[in-house]
Structure 1
């Protein structure tokens, strides 16, 4: 077969052969990547209903709208949520005005600096905002980047990643959010001697992006992109140079800023301003950070031009035990819902008692990792339950303080207990039914035993068994209640064998009593 008759290789085959060639010729010094530096970024995705119309940018939120949405997911941090809501509205209202044709060149972009320890909700705040307003979101660790020409990622790769997260929609990518964590790690204190490739150079490169610049979609260091440009030039006689303008990209940076405390304390102690009696050592870190000035950040190691491009500064508070407890009980994204769903997948009902949740919050606070500690504690406490219970007779259990404090002993007792000890789950179903439909039901003792027996035999939860038995019962019982005024309904054992017929007969009988 002639070479001309052979089918052309697929793009994947071309990429694989190019990668093999580069590795043979240059070793690991040159990498061939399909998308630039994706390993440095944690990205948010855009759902179909979040995508904007391809015309003018659509933004119609008020600060209170955004804060109300954040309140559903993030506990505490009211000041941070308020400041961020205002900054986001200011920024995207300006973007909307520019998209409508207004020339507002004197506007100062509301780039944000977040200050706070790990696990207080910094990433969650930004990701939730991006999902709400429907713009692409990219998160990366600032320490992964370096000045161009040195080992490390190029900050421009973050802008290119926005383009990928926007599914190739260039206009939408230009309205995205870039979030850089651990920004304090690229500070360059004045006492460092020599050239710092991971600090000042990165700040300088970020400075260009935070203002307004054009970033080429094809990275100069991405060999595959450059080869594609060369092939395009061969075919068309010219290569199209697409760029992303960063004028409307919102930049948010964050860090713990451990060394900043001492700088602020020294300044306050010397000036005796801000705290009565010079008691700067007695205040919380968050309160100290709220007194930080631009000069403090410069002394910490930021370039004046860099920190000057971060006009909005937000301090997040360390989470207390009470805050962690509220996250478990009130947040729409509570990890408890995740664990309840994972046990439910095995047909197991789990109830979390308030004292059990409080114990989880107390242990999580000792982890000193903020809300992340909740997942750490839950995983440690419930890991063996996930392993043992799906293969056991146990279809229900309750997370109490005793279980959290001694999970091994609680698991042993649970595995040795008889199924009839789980009547509380039937009672809990009755309570939830009354709460949801306004109708009080009560399973007879014989019916309760039969429900537990069926749940155990089928390895299903009490909730699943009862839902199947009482499907549409709320409608029939409501009719009976209307006809007879009956307030409480006892479900006998006989009803479980033919629940639909039993309800039908019950409804018919209620009309005869009128």
Structure 2
């Protein structure tokens, strides 16, 4: 094959192949975002506008660390030190991004990134902090769970997929993606299983995942398409066919900020043993320093604030990996008082979510302060942090959410008794509204009649006796009026059609439903047919 043949443009390919490329679901891979796509100029314009908008947002960034901290305070209770560290890191990162965009020569200068390690027990707000920051920041941001990765990428994901996802988050804009932020949760789950503490580690590939991650956190070139990406390989082949050379498509991770977090469940026990042993046999000054550090410890997880690199390495993390995370901050365990504040003051309170759930049915509830305290106390006993609040609220409101939407109740009160005995309170509430409930059930009967007329063209008029028996059967069988009526009258329209047909099409389509009809619809139809036959014979 000559050089000329190897550089044959795509336009000279057989028409069948060109048509296949145009109709392929992978079309966007054949025509990259950075190349001109004559079939979608509007898409190119939209991408350029989004790029300019993001650049303007970054260049106009003027938040101070305290302002970011204040924003996080609206959603996350406590964790003052973590908020401080994250606020400073975000501001520093934004400022660095802005400087690199304004002066591209700065990109080649070594930059010591403040990659962050967040430690803390489950449910204290580590992930929620990052979720709130993701809403605030303007640079590309991706979140992933460390447990989904494997060393090879054949079983589970490849760690380089994180960077590729960052490019996707930037709508294919590599220039913006190289200044993005990557957040990895559950990082402690990839601790090597051979750690001296036996602190954890899911399998032997954990060490390999750490090694691959540390390369990303330092600086490396990542191919924008993985080796297993068939569409990307086809794109490269088409580009080689068109230009005679392949274009390098990589992204450098030098300026990407990495934030990782993990519960490190048994690390606090390990640090506690170290601190206790270090206070034995030391000089008075050293022992005094240890005692001062321990004075602020109210929960075993608070020992995480005393974590040193050696502790994290002994837990099963690679020394080089730990070295790539120079900024470390421990989140404190939440007290019952903290959980109470979350319910009452946090903008993201789970209590607000439950209010919205009930509001969807037109129901509101009032909750007393003693009830809030009791919910927080029970949630604290769950020992799962803020997640314990949902456990308690679900236990309390489960049957309320199931029963009340089908009743006349539009408001109720939650007090200490409701938290202690939700079933008894619900039964009492339903008894108090029994009369109103009959009105609701009557309305349900009328609603069924209206649907029946819409679907089949027959008007069913339920008299008082029929309505009463339907209500009685509904309550006795714990079944809704709709389900009860659909079960009783599911073939009723066939009999009514026979009645109308026997009248030569001139019969009335209005039928009165009595108690007897409700109790045995098939028998009623048979009786009506016989009566109609006698009249016409």
- Name the TM-score, length of structure 2 as normaliser: 0.65
The question of whether the paired residues in 2 share the 8 Å contact of 1:143 and 1:198 is answered with no
Residue segments in structure 2 that go unaligned for 5+ positions in a row: 1-14, 29-49, 280-285, 445-537
2:271 and 2:295 map into 1 onto residues whose CA distance is 9
How far did residue 327 of structure 1 move?
0.6
The 5 A counterparts of 1:271-310 are 271-272=278-279, 273=286, 274-276=289-291, 284-310=299-325
CA RMSD of aligned residues (A): 3.5
Partner of 1:125: 129
Partner of 1:478: none
Alignment deviations for residues 316-353 of structure 1 (CA, whole Å, 9 cap, x no partner)? 01111111111110001111221112211211122222
Partner of 1:484: none
The question of whether the paired residues in 2 share the 8 Å contact of 1:180 and 1:254 is answered with yes
SS, match of residue 73 in structure 1: coil
1:225 and 1:168 map into 2 onto residues whose CA distance is 14
Distance 1:268 1:60, change over 3 A: same
The question of whether the paired residues in 2 share the 8 Å contact of 1:145 and 1:198 is answered with no
How far did residue 6 of structure 1 move?
12
How far did residue 141 of structure 1 move?
1.8
1:84 and 1:240 map into 2 onto residues whose CA distance is 37
- Larger CA Rg, structure 1 vs 2: 2
SS, match of residue 306 in structure 2: coil
The question of whether the paired residues in 2 share the 8 Å contact of 1:77 and 1:317 is answered with yes
How far did residue 279 of structure 1 move?
7.1
2:245 and 2:56 map into 1 onto residues whose CA distance is 27
1:336 and 1:404 map into 2 onto residues whose CA distance is 14
2:53 and 2:375 map into 1 onto residues whose CA distance is 39
The question of whether the paired residues in 1 share the 8 Å contact of 2:268 and 2:301 is answered with no
The answer as to 2:149 corresponding to 1:145 is: yes
1:262 and 1:367 map into 2 onto residues whose CA distance is 20
Partner of 2:398: 383
SS, match of residue 326 in structure 1: helix
Partner of 1:424: none
Distance 1:339 1:230, change over 3 A: same
SS, match of residue 260 in structure 2: strand
The answer as to 2:191 corresponding to 1:187 is: yes
- Name the TM-score, length of structure 1 as normaliser: 0.68
The question of whether the paired residues in 2 share the 8 Å contact of 1:155 and 1:206 is answered with yes
How far did residue 269 of structure 1 move?
3.2
Partner of 2:240: 233
How far did residue 54 of structure 1 move?
6.5
How far did residue 245 of structure 1 move?
2.1
Alignment deviations for residues 483-509 of structure 1 (CA, whole Å, 9 cap, x no partner)? xxxxxxxxxxxxxxxxxxxxxxxxxxx
SS, match of residue 158 in structure 1: helix
How far did residue 201 of structure 1 move?
1.5
SS, match of residue 318 in structure 1: coil
Distance 1:211 1:13, change over 3 A: closer
Residue segments in structure 1 that go unaligned for 5+ positions in a row: 16-47, 422-452, 459-514
1:363 and 1:394 map into 2 onto residues whose CA distance is 27
How far did residue 267 of structure 1 move?
3.0
Partner of 1:267: 274
The 5 A counterparts of 1:11-410 are 11-12=24-25, 52-53=54-55, 57-101=59-103, 103=106, 105-148=109-152, 151-188=155-192, 189=194, 197-272=204-279, 273=286, 274-276=289-291, 284-410=299-425
SS, match of residue 275 in structure 1: helix
1:187 and 1:168 map into 2 onto residues whose CA distance is 33
Distance 1:312 1:392, change over 3 A: same
2:292 and 2:356 map into 1 onto residues whose CA distance is 53
The question of whether the paired residues in 1 share the 8 Å contact of 2:371 and 2:415 is answered with yes
Number of matched pairs: 391
The question of whether the paired residues in 2 share the 8 Å contact of 1:150 and 1:197 is answered with no
Partner of 1:28: none
2:73 and 2:122 map into 1 onto residues whose CA distance is 19
How far did residue 301 of structure 1 move?
2.2
Distance 1:74 1:266, change over 3 A: same
How far did residue 66 of structure 1 move?
0.4
How far did residue 284 of structure 1 move?
2.8
